[in-house]
Every structure is written in structure tokens, then in C-alpha cells.
Amino acid sequence: MKKLFYSFFVMAMTAMFVVSCEDVPAPFDLPTPDDPTPAPSVDPTGSGTQADPYNVAAAIEFAQKLQVGEESQQDIYIKGKVASIRENYTAQYGNATFSISDDGTSKVTFLVYRALYLGNKKYSSGDLLNEGDDVIVCGKVVNYNGTLETQQNKAFLYSLNGKSEGGGGGGGTEGEAKGSGTVDDPYNPAGAAAAVKNLTWTSNDVYDTTGDVYVKGKISRIADKGTFTEGGTYGNASFYISEDGKENGEFYCYRILYLGNKKFEAGKTDIKVGDDVVICGQLMNYRGNTPETVAGKAYLYSLNGKTEGGGGGGGDTGGEAKGSGTLNDPYNPAGAAAAVKNLTWTSNDSYDTTGDVYVKGKISRIADKGTFTEGGTYGNASFYISEDGKENGEFYCFRVLYLGNKKFEAGQTDIKVGDEVIIYGQLMNYRNNTPETVAGKAHLYSLNGKTEDGGGGDTPGPGDDTGVGSYSNPYTVSTAVAAGSGTGVYVKAFIVGYVSGQVLAEGAHFTAEGCDVKTNLLIAQSASETDVAKCMPVQLPNGNVRTGLNLADHPENLGKEVLLYGNIEKYFGATGIKSVTYAEIGGTSIGTKP
């Protein structure tokens, strides 16, 4: 009897314990439906395209890169199983809200918020959702206060248990990459995507781009900015293109200007789905996962065969490279592009340049800074040149000074398309993909045959072989320091050392022993000079001059007399020599003599 009573007592206590547990709240770290999306526990797969949708883990990874409140620019595809349904499809609202996961459970889910039905349409009839259904969702996603979800009415049910009614979506550009990005051989959408695949995106202010390239396709759909007319507050439009005009294998054309590289104006022909277009401009890989044009840096080059110019560099400048970069044999635009092809660009403060060289061509178009007069706040202008003045095979002349290496002044002759010019100055390969002049380091040497001395004062202009600083009468260190500046001059002195670090006085070394610096030299009037105040630092640009003169590779050059051709300008905070393109040392010539 006692045992029976004890058993009843244990059962009663157990029942009380179970009932009490129902009042215990769930552990604080378990997500509720309103919690921010938790981290996935499975490996992310897929590329977000129609052919290769993201799984839920990959969709979460993609959306986590968005800032709070930011919407993805590209439609993506996500596959999963319906884990829970908040609002099923009804004819009243035509959309549904539900969560999907990789395994059909509610542990790690992605919220599909007010998504349209199959075919990217409002629901009127058809199969409703059930938990466990296999679905593919297509559309834009957003980081809504930490919850990762599809954007309301900008996503739809692309597939339900294998059934689809189309509806399209960008989701990455598919197909065979074709084209080289020139006007004669434009990229197809897949080729454009391939061209930016390895470009780096760090932030909205720091990202790599292609140079100006051409992309051809058919408009497959208009983005939410509308056509030029509907979204025309800024004179641009956003849309998708594909090879066949269908909503597969699309490339995103974001904030594109109109024909002629201008803002759209009332009364002009607008765009529509099915139009054949060629886009010209810069491309980027937004956030490292969305190939698209750079906003405001691309335009409609052609609309159903109609063009209004506007031009484009096309990345590599087409045509046969000619010239040696001297005054008597200037580069043509293709030659200038070839001269910088292997130069390195690291940042806006760290890049290789050619020395001062000559480039000849005809102005094919004026860049957005305008002519000297229109963009003349800084006395310079930006424009493109080609061999024949047409908008093919162009070279970009960026922020070029006027004749005489001076700022443009009122009353002087301005530039126009068709002018024959010779540019003199430094060239670079901006971001390793855009051949151009270095801003403020090049000027108009000749404009339709007219020249002005670019040296200033007693400094001879290029070709003058009689004045101070010429080949037959080179500067010494003391006369060069006294001159303070000069373009395209000769200086003769002795190599006495090199500079390490950033400060001339602290980094001067009067030896070649242990030298690991290849980018500069110290020169003086005496081979035994050790007073840094009586020396000049010399910048060695990438190329033959650096290879032939630097003390790290040629310690035997210490103490030798050298003749240098370059510019007298500030270097290491002192008067120095930069942009050296030619040198003579020990009876050997290095580089091309001007």
C-alpha cells in the first residue's frame, strides 16, 4: 500500500512539473519570426541566376552585404522549400508572404514578402502554397532593418513544384561571352559580364571599372526607373538587355544617358522593350556580384541603328600602333595606348607613367569637362583624339593644359572637334584599364600647326638645341636648381646615391651598397658630394631608364657622369628631375633621344 501511495505521489509531482514547464519562455537566443535573419548552417551554393539559383544560405550571404534599407539592384533567383506561410495567395491582393529554407524547416529561413504569383502577375487562380513545396523565387531583395527579405511586389514565384510561367529576371548574365568591346566588335551581354567579373568593388566611392567599351543587345525589360520619359528627371534611364530580347541572360544598363552622350530631351524618341541598342561607356561589378554600367558614365550609342555620335575609347585603342613618342615621330593614339599597356596603377597616389612623350591626332569629341572655355575653371580641357577624327580608336586626353604648357586664358583660340593636335606630356594606364594623359602633366604642344614655347623663361621648348638646358648646353645641378622648373630639358651631373623613405634629408644614401631602391637617384656636380643640399633627386619612371640607371641593379653607376632628359620640378619636397625619358651614361644611350 505504501508503495502504491508513493507511486501516486511521484506521478502527481511529475504532472505538476510538466504543467509548470509550459510557462517557461523559450531560450532567449532562439529566433522568433520577427528576429533578424540568422546565419545559415549549410554551405551557400548557386550564382543567383535562373539556371543556377541561390540556395537560401547563398541568398542570405548575398543580402547580408546590403546596407540597412538598401535594395539590390539586380533581380536574383532563390530556390528552397516553403517552411511556413504567413499569407497565402488570394485574388484580393494577388500576392503572398511566406518563408523558405533549404530543408523545409523553420530553423534558417528567408522571408518572401508579398511576392507576386507565377508569370510575375497578381494571383487570380491556380495552385496555392503548401508547406514543403519546392519553389524558386525571382526578384529584388532588401535588408529591412536587419531582416533579409524580398522587396514588396518586386519579386514573384518563378516556379512552384517545377511548374513555371516565365516572367524573367536579370539574375546574372548567361550564355557564351562574345566580342572585344570595340565599336566594330561590341560585347554581347555575356561578354560584358565577363569583362567585369574580376573587377574589385570596395564601396560606392572605391571601385574598378573598365574603360569605355561597347555592348550590344536588345532591351528585354525596363527597370523601375522607367523609360527616359517616365524616369526622366535626370535625363537617363535604367533597363536590361539580352541577346534576343528575352528575360534571360540579361545585362543591367544603369542610369544610361541618351544618344550623343547627352541627357534625354522632350520630343525625342524614347526606348521600349525590343529595341536594338549599342551602349558605350564604363562597366563595373557592383558589390562584386552585379555586372552593370557605371551610373552617368555610359550612354546609348545606337538606338535601332540611329546614332548621334558621342564616341567611346573602347578600352584598348584600336588600330596599328605607330610612332616612338618623339616630336619628329609622335605616337598615334594606338601607339600611345600601347606605350602604357604594361604600366601599373595602384591608387590615385601610386601609379607608373611614361616620361614626357608626344601624341598626335584629331579631336574626335569633347569630354564632359567641356572645351577650355566651357570647362575652363582650371584652365584645362578633357577630350578624345583619334587618327581620323572619328569616334573609333580614340585616346583620352584628360585635363590637358593649353599651348605653352599654361592655363587657358580668355581671348585665346579654343578647341573643337576636328582640330589637329599634338599633345606633349606624361601618359598613364588609369586603373590598369584606361590609357590617358596624367591630369595637369600634359599640354597642347600644337593646335592646327600653331605652337608656343612650353618651357618658360630661358628653358628651351622641345627641339631647341641652343639654349640653356639643351643637349649641347645642358643644365648643371646648380643652374637647374636656380631655374626651379622646366619641361623637356637636359641636365648633366654625377650619380652620388639614392633616397629611401619619404624625407630627402633623412633618406639620402651616398652609397650603392645595400641599395634596394630602383625608383630614384641622387645627382650632384661632384662625384664625391655628400651634402644633400647640393644634390638633386631624380625620379626613374618605369621602363628602360629605370632598368638601366638604378643603383640596386647597377651599383657600378655610382660616381659616373650621366646626361638626363626630363622635367625640372618638385620631387621629395626639393627641386628635382622627373619624367626622365632619355639618358646617356658611360657612352651608352638609354631610351629614345628627343
Question: Tens digits of per-residue pLDDT, 47-61?
Answer: 888 878 999 999 999
The rounded distance, in Å, linking the Cα atoms of 368 and 440 is 17
Ranking 183-192, 452-461, 468-477 by mean pLDDT, the lowest is 452-461
Q: Which residue has the higher pLDDT, 289 or 221?
A: 221
- Is residue 170 scored above 60 in pLDDT? no
Ranking 186-190, 278-282, 414-418, 432-436 by mean pLDDT, the lowest is 432-436
The pLDDT of 546-559, averaged and rounded, is: 95
Q: Which residue has the higher pLDDT, 218 or 372?
A: 218
Q: Encode pLDDT of 389-424 as tens digits.
A: 887 788 999 999 999 888 888 888 899 999 999 999
Q: Taking Cα atoms as reference points, which of 477, 591, 573 lies closest to residue 531?
A: 477
**Is the four-CA dihedral 300, 306, 307, 312 of positive or negative sign?**
positive
Q: What is the mean pLDDT of the chain?
A: 83
- Is residue 376 scored above 70 in pLDDT? no
- Is residue 575 scored above 80 in pLDDT? yes
Which three cell numbers mark 508? 639620402
Q: Is 145 helix (H, G, I), strand (E, B) or coil?
A: coil
- Is residue 169 scored above 60 in pLDDT? no
Strand stretches in 116-269, DSSP E = 134-144, 147-160, 163-164, 213-222, 237-242, 251-256
Which three cell numbers mark 420? 589637329
pLDDT of residue 318: 52
Using alpha carbons only, give the angle 334, 252, 244 rounded to the nearest 5 degrees. 90
**Are 251 and 240 contacting, i.e. CB atoms less than 8 angstroms apart?**
yes
pLDDT of residue 451: 81
